[in-house]
Chain A
Amino acid sequence: MIEKTYKAIVVDDEDLARAIVVEHLGVHPEIRVVASCANGFEAVKAATEHKPDLLFLDIQMPKLNGFEVLELLDPQPTVVFITAYDQHALKAFEVHAVDYLLKPFDAERFEEALVRAKARCDQGAPSGPQPAELSDAARSDWPLDRLVVKDGTKVTLIPLAKLDYVQAQDDYVLLKTPEKSHLKQQTISSLETRLDPNRFLRIHRSFIIQLDRLARLEQTPSESWVAVLHDGTRLPVSKSGYARIKTLLEKGSV
């Protein structure tokens, strides 16, 4: 009988921290470590290429943090978070994660996490939460300052300051920056909840604009409204969107 094997990727920006995970996995012939990554970009690339069953993932890393990595992966591997100390993360893990390990950990604790993770793999599809949800819970105390987008294996970070507007396209959103448009798999409503309502406004079922990009509002012959941005872009404004803009204008924040 051939035992089932699992592909695993280890992600941590510290060499020694990766080494210890690889060492613990070394005693398990059924686990094959297909990649060992030192940052979020490498992790997304390796995971897209290898489609691992298991991901051992640090949270605080250069470029992309652990949550952002997870957000970009499809399909979602079974994830064991490994962190030194992070209250925000702990909050999320208590509810959602397969397991999390606090550095430093011993062999028994690692085995426990591995058994749990393998069981989750054997069940098939991970029953965990959507990654966006996970990172929302973990980051609820942090202001969202950038969006991550993946195109093939290429990852792009979009600072919110660069975002002109967002347009809904079915299950995707089109993120419009002065240089380029990026497509991201997320609904416009779920993105809206993560954006600062004082900076971004849903002006239409399909559009969110960054408020300081708004030049003026114009009325069309058919009595509906159009938002004109500083770069000349014209976007439709719905009735409720117009009401929201008016409220903001009255508050004096535009």
Chain B
Amino acid sequence: MNPITSSRARLGTYLLGWVPVVALLTFVAMSQGWRLAEALVLGVPMCALGAFLFLTSWYLCRALPLRSTRVGSHWTAWILAAVIMAALWSGAGVALAWCLDRLSPLAGLYHRALAALPTLLGIGVVLYLATLTLHYLLDAVDLGKLSEAREAEFRILAQDAELRALRAQLNPHFLFNSLNSISALTTIDPPKARSMCILLSDFLRGSLRLGEKRLVSLSEEADLLKAYLSIEQIRFGSRLQVQWDLDPATLSEEVPALLLQPLVENAIKHGIAGLTEGGVVRVASRREGNVLELVVENPVDADTPVVPGLGLGQRQVRSRLQMRYGDRMRFEAGTADGIHRVRMVFPSEVKP
């Protein structure tokens, strides 16, 4: 995209820049004994032509970027292009003069123009080179802005990848306790030991796979949670119950990968594990208009003091949502009536 025509403001400024050129041409012509009318009648159309003709220098600018190492050899191409374009331009000017010569008040214009051809040629070369320089300058500015934007985007991507990597990291406490359960089951209930091994493998594979992605469908995330919760149900027995309130219509929604996993992990660690009788972990989703709402709830022990503020897991989830959705997301977490509730609302996205 030509950096001048890419924005109206730039194009306007560029065309305005040709006004002094008209003035300069008129001044030069009049100093050579031209009349004002003669100078203007030829100068204005020529400048209009030049303004558009020299925009073609963009192609040269693009073909010979300054970043390349052999800038020295560009000179020949630049000069050659300038001479050709200036010749075209001044040739067109002389042709116009020849046409206008037929009109009686402008008789003799063709001869004057022909006489001024070398001067016109020189001015054409200078103007072409000036336009070319402008293209290079604007291109460099645009490139700078683009790389800044890219850098910002990369930074966000890197942070997100880092957070996901953290998420995909195994919670050692969970892993060792699960292995201990398997160890106990090998004598008590060997088939159950085997199925727990398989659940654990499913969960590990799933969290590695999801950790590589930025977005997954809600149903993929839910499958991972199901494997995780099945393992925890073997560990905690009847103390852990799970209530799924996922609206089927939301299952194809795209959500940041491993978004719910840390919240469900917290629901067990800070909720169920602290309750002698256990309780129900509830995971819910629904779509309202064009936003998606996700909720994770768990009971908490009344005797355990509430730590103010968000824990590490919640902070990470919130900052991932913030990075992706900015102001268009909401993250709320709080405890009321013995239930800890995390609610997230962000724009709905369905994979095309």
Contacts and interface: CB of A to CB of B under 8 A. Distances in A.
A156 to B, nearest CB: 10
Given A41-B276, A63-B276, A157-B303, A16 B188 contact: yes
Nearest 8 CB-CB pairings of A with B = A103-B180, A84-B176, A20-B184, A16-B184, A104-B183, A104-B180, A16-B181, A39-B276
B184 A63 contact: no
Nearest to A162: B305
Contact of B184 (A19, A41, A102, A145): A19
Contacts of A20: 180, 183-184
Interface string A4-16: 0000000001111
A16 B275 contact: no
A254 interface: no
Given A14-B236, A19-B184, A102 B176 contact: yes
30 contacts: A13-B273, A14-B181, A14-B235, A15-B237, A16-B184, A16-B188, A16-B234, A17-B180, A17-B181, A19-B184, A19-B188, A23-B184, A23-B187, A23-B188, A41-B276, A60-B173, A62-B276, A63-B303, A84-B173, A84-B176, A85-B173, A103-B176, A103-B180, A103-B183, A104-B179, A146-B303, A157-B303, A159-B303, A159-B305, A160-B305
A33 interface: no
A84 B177 CA distance: 6
A30 B305 CA distance: 42
A53 B176 CA distance: 28
Interface in A20-43: 20, 23, 38-39, 41
A74 to B, nearest CB: 22
Contact of A14 (B172, B177, B305): B177
A125 interface: no
Task: Tell me the dominant secondary structure on chain B's binding face.
Answer: helix
A161 to B, nearest CB: 7
Interface in A112-151: 145-146
Contacts of B184: 16-17, 19-20, 23
A16 B301 contact: no
A159 B304 CA distance: 8
A145 B303 CA distance: 11
Nearest to B193: A16
Interface string A185-201: 00000000000000000
B181 A63 contact: no
A20 B193 CA distance: 13
B273 A60 contact: yes
Contacts of A60: 173, 273
A102 B237 CA distance: 22
Q: How large is the interface on B (under 10, 10 to 19, 20 to 34, 35 or more residues)?
A: 20 to 34
A247 to B, nearest CB: 27
B274 interface: yes
B188 A62 contact: no
A85 B176 contact: yes
B177 A63 contact: no
Interface of B: 172-173, 176-177, 179-185, 187-188, 234-237, 273-276, 301, 303, 305
A63 B177 CA distance: 19
Nearest to B303: A157
Q: How large is the interface on A (under 10, 10 to 19, 20 to 34, 35 or more residues)?
A: 20 to 34
B136 to A, nearest CB: 60
Contact of B172 (A17, A62, A85): A85
Contacts of A146: 303, 305
Contacts of A19: 184, 188
Nearest to A82: B180
Contacts of B183: 20, 103-104
Contacts of B235: 14, 16
B177 to A, nearest CB: 5
Contacts of A41: 276
A140 B232 CA distance: 30
A39 B275 CA distance: 9
A63 B187 CA distance: 30
Given A62-B276, A85-B172, A104-B176, 18 more contacts: A13-B273, A13-B276, A14-B237, A15-B237, A16-B181, A16-B234, A17-B180, A19-B184, A20-B180, A23-B187, A23-B188, A39-B276, A63-B276, A103-B177, A103-B179, A103-B180, A104-B179, A104-B180
A223 B299 CA distance: 54
A84 B173 CA distance: 6
Interface string A156-169: 01011100000000
Contacts of B176: 84-85, 102-104
B183 to A, nearest CB: 4
A84 B273 contact: no
Nearest to B274: A62
Interface string A54-66: 0000001011000
